[in-house]
């Protein structure tokens, strides 16, 4: 668990979650609660909106650089080189523009900028646009778009679509519940401040509305989480016999603890809001839930860098490789490919590509392109369209390997009108014998 990519992923997910959750809380919880309280001055509502805006901006200020760090670390892993070298050679830009992950990352950057600008628009200019329509849509897009970079986003067929819907629902539910907890804690803390008198009505309305949102989110998390575990763990044995499964069990334990605290809040504390000390206890429990939620997000960061337990089986066997061939198996959540370059040394060569789905069955593609980049600084990538053989493999002939070293191979497979699978890995080319 020393891979920095795991921690960068966790920080990014946590920041994105809080940014989106704060928007949801402001629009669907706090906004209606302040509007329904006739005895609350408009200045109090505006003060909370301003504080919420700062929470959104701060979260986005963390989300954007952590996304850039994620992209840089991923490019470094793909090219097998330090980040500074990959930056100088344009490798990060190649990953950002030529891979599904990079393209989604650029789109999410645009969503983050638009969301920050939406909160910069004065309330008097476009109150309805700001409160009810644009920010929630931008926040939802920023929150759920990572689903298209995982296994579900690239898997073909009805099963892939079902998994994608589950991923989207899971992310939305996490944002609506866990991501909104810091904003709820901020509202509860404000209710205890002397500068915010007569807040009992607003607090009661907000807590009841959030409790209802939380129940819906828990149901959505249970349903979507069950689907994800089915796809990514595969069996009960994998939960206890694989590292991936054990982390999933730990995440489920954190989720159960959060549900327990939420149940105390809803069924014990919420009906007693008027009692002395109840708001303070609610605020404390809210912060405790937030801490447990962030711990679960940290586990998600680690899980995202590991192969799912359902993939922990033997690779397909289709004959022994020639002794002088270069070979790489690219295994990701989005799909897999075996790339063989024959011969695997400098000079003319031929590349053979075999595509696999999550169950190591053949993956149908409409078109496959192969991009190779030499290891030397400033090398320009060479892209060739592959031809499919009678046995289903894709082949590229007359490749010129100019130098030995770790080349970068990118397989870009078009699975359908709107689906692409892009896989990246280094492949070792030996000197000519």
Which residue, 425, 423, 422, is CA-closest to 407?
425
Q: Residues 390-407: what's their mean pLDDT?
A: 90
Dist CA 194 CA 353 (whole Å) = 68
User: How does pLDDT run across 243-252, given as a tens digit for each residue?
Assistant: 888 899 999 9
> Bigger pLDDT: 418 or 388?
388
- Sequence-distant (6+) residues with CB within 8 A of 89 are 79, 81, 377, 378, 379
pLDDT of residue 296: 92
pLDDT of residue 321: 65
Check the CA dihedral 210-213-215-220 and report its sign.
negative
Sorting pLDDT into bands at 50, 70 and 90, what band is 8? very high
> Bigger pLDDT: 303 or 10?
10
Sorting pLDDT into bands at 50, 70 and 90, what band is 317? very low
pLDDT of residue 307: 64
User: Is 152's pLDDT higher than 70?
Assistant: no
User: Is 208's pLDDT higher than 80?
Assistant: yes
User: How does pLDDT run across 162-184, given as a tens digit for each residue?
Assistant: 778 888 999 999 999 999 999 99
pLDDT of residue 235: 76
> Bigger pLDDT: 323 or 393?
393
Any idea which of 330-334, 375-379, 396-400 has the lowest mean pLDDT?
Answer: 330-334
pLDDT of residue 311: 55
Share of the chain above pLDDT 70, in %: 85
User: Is 333's pLDDT higher than 90?
Assistant: no
Dist CA 400 CA 365 (whole Å) = 25
**Per the structure block, which two tokens stand in for 104?**
């989604």
Q: Residues 380-393: what's their mean pLDDT?
A: 90
- Sequence-distant (6+) residues with CB within 8 A of 117 are none
User: Is 256's pLDDT higher than 90?
Assistant: yes
User: Is 40's pLDDT higher than 70?
Assistant: no
pLDDT of residue 278: 85
Dist CA 29 CA 171 (whole Å) = 19
> Bigger pLDDT: 189 or 17?
17
Proportion of the chain in helix, strand, coil states, percent, rounded to 5: 60, 15, 25
> Bigger pLDDT: 387 or 234?
387
Any idea which of 39-43, 189-193, 286-290, 417-421 has the lowest mean pLDDT?
Answer: 39-43
Is the Cβ–Cβ distance between 319 and 302 less than 8 Å?
no
**Per the structure block, which two tokens stand in for 322?**
């020639």
Dist CA 427 CA 433 (whole Å) = 18
User: How does pLDDT run across 293-315, given as a tens digit for each residue?
Assistant: 999 999 988 887 776 666 554 44
User: Is 276's pLDDT higher than 70?
Assistant: yes
Q: How many CA atoms lie within 13 A of 229 on its CB side?
A: 19
- Beta-bridge partner residues of 399: 349
Share of the chain above pLDDT 90, in %: 35
CA angle 10, 184, 251 (to 5 degrees): 35
**Per the structure block, which two tokens stand in for 44?**
């109090």
Sorting pLDDT into bands at 50, 70 and 90, what band is 425? confident
pLDDT of residue 101: 82
Would residue 234 be called left, alpha or beta, if left means φ above 0 and alpha means ψ between -120 and 50 degrees?
left
User: Is 224's pLDDT higher than 80?
Assistant: yes
Dist CA 215 CA 205 (whole Å) = 16
Q: Residues 78-91: what's their mean pLDDT?
A: 77
Dist CA 188 CA 161 (whole Å) = 40
């Amino acid at each position: 668990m020393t891979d920095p990519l795991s921690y960068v992923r966790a920080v990014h997910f946590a920041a994105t979650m809080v940014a989106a959750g704060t928007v949801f809380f402001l629009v669907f919880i706090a906004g209606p609660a302040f509007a329904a309280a006739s005895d609350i001055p408009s200045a109090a509502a505006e003060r909370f909106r301003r504080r919420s805006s700062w929470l959104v901006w701060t979260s986005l200020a963390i989300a954007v650089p952590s996304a850039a760090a994620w992209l840089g670390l991923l490019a470094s892993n793909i090219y097998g080189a330090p980040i500074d070298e990959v930056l100088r050679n344009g490798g990060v830009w190649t990953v950002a523009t030529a891979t599904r992950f990079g393209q989604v990352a650029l789109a999410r950057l645009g969503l983050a900028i638009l969301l920050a600008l939406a909160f910069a628009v004065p309330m008097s200019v476009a109150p309805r646009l700001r409160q009810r329509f644009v920010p929630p849509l931008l926040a939802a897009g920023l929150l759920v778009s990572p689903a298209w970079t995982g296994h579900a986003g690239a898997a073909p067929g009805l099963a892939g679509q079902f998994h994608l819907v589950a991923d989207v629902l899971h992310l939305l539910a996490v944002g609506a519940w866990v991501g909104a907890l810091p904003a709820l804690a901020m509202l509860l803390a404000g209710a205890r401040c002397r500068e915010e008198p007569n807040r009992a009505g607003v607090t009661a309305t907000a807590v009841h509305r959030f409790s209802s949102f939380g129940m819906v989110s828990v149901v959505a998390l249970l349903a979507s989480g069950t689907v994800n575990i089915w796809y990514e763990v595969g069996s009960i044995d994998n939960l206890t016999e694989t590292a991936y499964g054990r982390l999933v069990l730990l995440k489920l334990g954190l989720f159960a603890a959060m549900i327990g605290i939420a149940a105390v809040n809803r069924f014990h504390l919420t009906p007693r809001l008027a009692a002395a000390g109840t708001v303070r206890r609610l605020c404390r429990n809210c912060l405790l839930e937030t801490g447990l939620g962030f711990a679960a997000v940290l586990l998600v960061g680690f899980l995202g860098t590991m192969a799912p337990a359902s993939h922990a089986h033997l690779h397909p066997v289709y004959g022994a490789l020639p002794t002088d061939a270069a070979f790489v198996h690219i295994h990701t959540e989005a799909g897999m490919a075996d790339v063989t370059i024959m011969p695997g040394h400098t000079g003319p060569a031929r590349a053979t590509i075999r595509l696999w789905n999550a169950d190591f069955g053949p993956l149908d593609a409409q078109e496959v392109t192969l991009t190779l980049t030499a290891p030397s600084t400033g090398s320009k990538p060479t892209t060739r369209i592959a031809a499919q053989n009678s046995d289903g493999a894709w082949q590229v002939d007359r490749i010129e390997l100019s130098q030995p070293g770790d080349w970068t191979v990118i397989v870009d497979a078009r699975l359908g009108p709107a689906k692409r699978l892009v896989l990246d890995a280094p492949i070792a080319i030996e000197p000519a014998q």
